[in-house]
Amino acid sequence: MAKLTEEEKLFRKVEEKVKKAIFDYGLIQDGDRILIGLSGGKDSLALVDLLGRRSRIFRPKFEVVVAHIVMTNIPYCSDMEYLRSCAEEYGLPFIVHETSFDASTDTRKSPCFLCSWTRRKALFDIAKANGCNKIALGHHQDDILETLLMNMVHQGAFGTMPPRLKMDKFDMEVIRPMCLVEEKELMRIAAWKGYKKQVKNCPYESGSSRSEMKEVLARLEAINPEARYSLWGSMTNIQDGYLPRKV
C-alpha cells in the first residue's frame, strides 16, 4: 500500500473533523437532501469535495445539490464550467441562479448585509424548489470565532453562527459541516487540490471589519496557542454565577 502524502493525511484529518461535527451537532440525518451554496471560494469548493465524498458513504445516507448564485450588480466573473465540473465530479446537480439588490432601498443597512441577505434568501428559494430540507454553508472555525468576537466587540452580545440553525420562518435548517475545521487547513487543501480562484471585484468588500477580527484572533493565538480551542469551549461553558446580573 502506497504511503499517504502529508496533504492526503491532512485531507483525511479534515474529513474526520467534518464527521465529528456531523455526529456531535446532529447536522445530517438519513434521508436529508442538502443544498450547498457554492460561491467559488476555497471554503465552498472544499465543502463540495467533503460532502460530495461523504454522500457516498453508507450512513447517514443523504443527497446533495449544488447552487451558484450570480449577483448581477456586483462585478465579478465566475468560471461556470469549472464550478459545474466540481459538482459533477461527484454526480451532483448544479444550479445557476441570478439575482441582484439595490443598496439605495435601505440606507440603514450596509451593502454587505443587503448582498448577503439577498444571497441567503435566494438559497432558501432554490432549496425549496429542489426539495431540499437543509442548506450547507462553507463557514469554518475561524469564521465562527471571528463572528463571536465581532458580536462581543460591536454588538455587546455573546453569540455567533451555530453549527446547526433551524429557520422556522423558512422551514429549513442551515448547517455548517466545517465548523471544526481551521482556515489554515482549508488553505493547504486548496493549494494541494489546485482550486481555481474566481475573479471578484466587490466595491463594498473593504467595508467589512472581519479582517480586523482575523488579526485579533491571530494575536490571541500568539499569546496562547490554545486560544481558539478555549474560545470554542467557552461557548458551552457559560458560568452564570460569575457574570453580572441586574437586580
pLDDT digits (tens, 9 = 90+) for 47-57: 999 999 999 98
Local structure of residue 58 (DSSP, 8 states): S
CA–CA separation, 85 vs 47, rounded Å? Answer: 14
CATH of the domain at 174: 3.40.50.620
- 0.85 surpassed by pTM: yes
Question: Concatenated DSSP letters for 158-174?
Answer: -----SEEEETTTTEEE
CA–CA separation, 119 vs 202, rounded Å? Answer: 14
CA distances from 72 to 84, 98, 107, 110 (A): 19, 7, 20, 18
Local structure of residue 79 (DSSP, 8 states): -
Phi-psi sector, 83: left (phi>0), alpha (psi -120 to 50), beta: alpha
Q: Among residues 238, 235, 223, 224, which one has the least CA distance to residue 149?
A: 235
Q: Within a domain: residue 127?
A: yes
Q: Please tell me whether residue 35 adopts helix, strand or coil conformation.
A: strand
Q: Within a domain: residue 242?
A: no
Model confidence pLDDT, tens digit, residues 101-132 = 877 776 666 777 777 888 889 999 999 999 99
Q: Give the pLDDT score at 166.
A: 95
The β-bridge relationship of strands 134-136 and 199-200 is unpaired
CA–CA separation, 143 vs 179, rounded Å? Answer: 8
Q: Please tell me whether residue 5 adopts helix, strand or coil conformation.
A: coil
Beta bridge partners of 94: 66
> With contact defined as beta carbons under 8 Å apart, do 45 and 84 qualify?
no
Q: Within a domain: residue 247?
A: no
Q: Within a domain: residue 191?
A: yes
Percent of the chain with pLDDT over 90: 74
Which of 1-15, 17-31, 97-111, 167-181 bottoms out in mean pLDDT, i.e. has the lowest? Answer: 97-111
Work out the burial of residue 232: count CB atoms within 10 Å of its CB; fewer than 13 is exposed, 13-18 middle, 19 or more buried. Answer: middle
Q: Give the pLDDT score at 102.
A: 76
Which of 9-13, 42-46, 130-134, 195-199 bottoms out in mean pLDDT, i.e. has the lowest? Answer: 195-199
CB under 8 Å to 225, separation ≥6 — which residues? none
Residue 206 has pLDDT above 60, yes or no: no
Model confidence pLDDT, tens digit, residues 152-184 = 999 999 999 999 999 988 889 999 999 999 999
Model confidence pLDDT, tens digit, residues 32-45 = 999 999 999 999 99
Q: What are all long-range contacts of 10-14, with beta carbons under 8 Å and residues at least 24 apart?
A: 10/185, 10/188, 10/189, 10/192, 11/189, 11/192, 13/185, 14/46, 14/50, 14/178, 14/181, 14/185, 14/186, 14/189
Q: Within a domain: residue 245?
A: no
Q: Within a domain: residue 192?
A: yes
Q: Within a domain: residue 65?
A: yes
Number of domains observed in the structure of the chain: 1
Q: Within a domain: residue 39?
A: yes
Helix (H), strand (E) at residue 221: helix 210-223
Which of 12-26, 100-114, 139-153 bottoms out in mean pLDDT, i.e. has the lowest? Answer: 100-114
Question: pLDDT class for 82, splitting at 50, 70, 90?
Answer: very high
Q: Give the pLDDT score at 96.
A: 94
Tell me which residue range forms the domain holding 33.
6-236
Q: Max Cα separation, the chain?
A: 67
